[in-house]
Structure formats: C-alpha cells, structure tokens
C-alpha cells in the first residue's frame, strides 16, 4: 500500500507518497510525469511518520533553513541508471547548480565508461520522483540554459532564487 498526503508549498500543492515508511515521491501538482512510476493502490494517510517528517523538512526548506536529505529515509523508484543520477543530485549543495554534462562525466567515471550522454542524464533527471528534496531543479544546461524541469521552468527559477542562486546569468530558452 502506498500512503499519500498533501503539502501546500510556496510553489504549489505537493503530493507526498510513501511505501514501507520510506519516502518514494514528492510531486508538484500537474507536473510532467505526475505519479508516473506508481502502480499500486494509494490511500491518504496524513499521520504516516515519514510523511510527517517530510512536511517538517519542507517547512524548514521553505524557511531557508537548508535541511539535509539524509534526514529523510528516501527510496525513489526507478532504473539503476536513474538511481545513480539521483544519488549525484543529492550531492549538489543548496544554492549551487551543476550541468547535465557535469553529471554525465561523473556517471561515466563511476561506471568506468569513456563518456555518457547528457541526454540520458537529462531523462533520468526529468523522471526524478522526489522533487525539491532530490534537487533536480539545481541542474542546468551547459550555457546557463534552464531547460528541463518537470515542475515547470517558472517553478525551477523560483526554487533557485529561493536558494540564493544568482539567476542573472541563467535563461529560459
């Protein structure tokens, strides 16, 4: 059984999901790939421990208190490759950005390959099921291009601004 709860955030209504008391999803309402990897029956359960912890984490994030991902027991559902990409996303510091190409270089090194497609990385980033907490909004194109955020580029911009990123050099294509 997957348990869910809603959280009203400054960037819109979020749906939180858990399974076996581990966080498996945080989706911005109407985002691309909303609930795309969940096939099981869902039930609203506002008193589920991990969902309460997640709401507390989100409260502190939106109060600029920079909570750490390790405070939450997360278990995103995806391919092994996607999970490798999401693990790298978890290392991007608050208020910093990284490019798809930089992630591709890290993945290729970890997998002992000569190179990795930035597009493959982009696909994994786009399918991140735990928005905001696994900070896919911190990934940008090589030249400051703000392409590729399932929650919408306006929300990506708002999250980066919230974290104090200098967005003057970033642009929406």
Its CATH class, for the domain covering 80-169, is mainly alpha
Domain ranges of the chain: 2-71, 80-169
Per-residue pLDDT tens digits for 68-123: 999 999 999 999 999 999 999 999 999 999 999 999 999 998 888 888 888 889 88
Per-residue model confidence (pLDDT) at position 152: 84
Band (35; pLDDT cuts 50, 70, 90): low
Whole-angstrom distance, CA of residue 32 vs CA of residue 152: 8
Q: Report CA 129 to chain centroid distance, whole Å.
A: 7
Asked whether this chain's domains 2-71 and 80-169 adopt the same fold, the reply is: no
Q: Is the pLDDT of residue 33 over 80?
A: no
Cα dihedral 89→19→123→170 (10° resolution) = -40
Percent of the chain with pLDDT over 70: 96
Which residues, listed in sequence order, are joined to residue 98 by a DSSP beta bridge? 139
Residues forming the active site = 136
Whole-angstrom distance, CA of residue 162 vs CA of residue 44: 29
Q: At what angle do helices 100-110 and 118-126 cross, to 10 degrees?
A: 100
Q: Which fold has domain 2-71?
A: Double Stranded RNA Binding Domain (3.30.160)
């Amino acid at each position: 059984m997957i348990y869910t709860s809603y959280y009203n955030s400054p960037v819109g209504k979020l749906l939180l999901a858990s399974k076996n008391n581990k966080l498996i999803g945080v989706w911005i309402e109407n985002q691309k790939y909303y609930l795309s990897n969940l096939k099981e029956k869902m039930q609203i359960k506002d008193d589920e421990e991990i969902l309460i912890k997640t709401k507390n984490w989100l409260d502190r994030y939106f109060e600029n208190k920079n909570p750490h991902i390790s405070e939450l027991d997360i278990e995103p559902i995806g391919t092994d490759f996607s999970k490798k990409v999401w693990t790298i996303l978890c290392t991007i510091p608050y208020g910093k950005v990284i490019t798809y190409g930089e992630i591709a270089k890290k993945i290729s090194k970890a997998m002992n390959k000569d190179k990795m497609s930035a597009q493959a990385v982009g696909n994994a980033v786009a399918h991140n099921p735990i928005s905001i907490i696994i900070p896919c909004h911190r990934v940008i194109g090589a030249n400051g291009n703000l392409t590729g955020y399932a929650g919408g580029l306006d929300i990506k911009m708002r999250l980066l601004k919230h974290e104090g990123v200098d967005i003057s050099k970033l642009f929406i294509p």
